[in-house]
Structure 1
Amino acid sequence: MKNYKSNNLGFFGKLSEIRKWILVLFMAFIFFWIFNYFTKSKDSSTIEYDTNLIQTQIKNVGKLVVTEGHFAEVITYKDKKETYIPGLSFDKKALVVVNADVTVSFDLSLVTYDIDAKNKIVTITNIPKEEIKISPDLKYYNTESSTFNEFKGEDYNKINKIVKENLAKKIEKSSLKSNAQNRLLSELSKILILTNSMGWTLSYKGNVIKSDTDFQINLSN
């Protein structure tokens, strides 16, 4: 009789032990599920926060970057109207003093980009070309003309065209465009600094941008 009771007690003891393990496993599953749920939610929130922060930063960068310069030159405009009489012509000429204000600008609101939140990659898809604006102030001196070859509107238009062509050549040889590009790179580097600090990758034209130098190389291509 004692053996029967001891056997029963051993059986129920084992059953109680199994229930304890089932309860432990069940509680472990519950804790794991809760941990996994909140961990995933946190990651999702972080990525969403990162994406919004990057979009805000790019929007803040999206302004008009303007570099200004001043150029001056003196040109002599001449025009000759030949006649049927050899050696006889009607001439007109003018000394033109040019002072011009020039601006080189980048409208960074036109920068376009794609954000790959899953892989944490920001890809700049377009950086606008520079816009060059030339505003010349022309003053005419020593203007000479004749009745048969007077100054007309087309002459002033021609002079204005010549002036802008000459100024365009001067701008190309000057440091104005490179200074404007340096300011552009300074603004774009803010996006680079932000993505690096957040563990994201910045890409442009299929290349990973790791420094301002990478931007400079890509912009010149």
Structure 2
Amino acid sequence: MWLIIFIVIGVVLFKYFTSEKPTETTEYNTDLIEQQIKNVGKLVVTEGHYSQVMTYKDQQKYLMNLVTFEKKALIIINADVTVAYDLSKVKYDIDQKNKTITIVSIPKEEIKISPDIQFYDIDQSTMNPFTGADYNKINKKVKSDLARKIEKSKLKTNAENRLVSELAKILILTNTMGWKLEYKNQVIQTESQLGKTLNL
């Protein structure tokens, strides 16, 4: 009789302990992953500097183009540029049951251009002087020109590489813990694959 009681108690205890451990392990793994995502969720900033020289010209014509008043200036631009990814805005989903973390969305880069514009060799007339409208037009053109350069520059590439490196920290953790990382319906297995999936 006592033997049967001990056997029943043993079976109950065995089931109790074996059923609790996976749940505790899953919760522990999930906590680790969430903490890692929080660590990755920072502002990644890549900085650069650009210099540019341009000549600005404008003409005002009167009397059916018979009289022309021209203004022009040599302009030197020095600009500080930053390309940033705010990784705190990364949206993700954690599936404890299937041990999968899915990246739902990644924020687009934020490009900030801060130009210092200096005017030299200014030539203007009282009929066609430099005005605030000219400065606004020049500032807009400078930022537009720089934005095109940045798109093709190493600065943008370096920022994208840093983005991949930060997100790869989550990939390393999930691989180590036997979880999967997914993005755009693909299971991500390597850092290079992550970069390709991001279209970088």
Range class of TM-score, shorter chain: over 0.9
Structure 1 residue ranges without an equivalent (≥5):
1-18
Give the structure-2-normalised TM-score.
0.95
Q: What root-mean-square deviation, in Å, do the aligned CA atoms of Structure 1 and Structure 2 show?
A: 1.4
State the distance in 2 between where 1:168 and 1:184 align.
Answer: 20
Q: 2:28 aligns with which of 30, 36, 49?
A: 49
Q: Deviations over 1:76-101 (max 9, x none)?
A: 00000011154420111111000001
Structure 2 residue ranges without an equivalent (≥5):
none
Instruction: Show the counterpart of 1:105.
Output: 84
Instruction: Show the counterpart of 2:151.
Output: 172
State the distance in 1 between where 2:90 and 2:11 align.
Answer: 45
> Where does 1:24-173 land on structure 2 (aligned, <5 Å)?
24=3, 26-84=5-63, 86-173=65-152
Return the structure number with greater helix share: 1
State the distance in 2 between where 1:26 and 1:122 align.
Answer: 45
Report how far residue 205 of structure 1 moved: 1.1
| Letter of the structure 1 residue corresponding to residue 132 of structure 2 | G
**Aligned residue pairs: how many?**
200
Tell me the SS of whatever aligns to 2:182: strand
Tell me the SS of whatever aligns to 1:151: coil
Q: Deviations over 1:54-106 (max 9, x none)?
A: 00110011000000111111010000001115442011111100000100000
State the distance in 2 between where 1:115 and 1:177 align.
Answer: 30
Is 25-34 or 199-208 further displaced after alignment?
25-34
Return the structure number with greater strand share: 2
Q: Does 1:200 align with 2:179?
A: yes
Tell me the SS of whatever aligns to 2:53: strand
Q: Does 1:216 align with 2:195?
A: yes
| Letter of the structure 2 residue corresponding to residue 112 of structure 1 | K
State the distance in 1 between where 2:51 and 2:190 align.
Answer: 37
Report how far residue 29 of structure 1 moved: 3.5
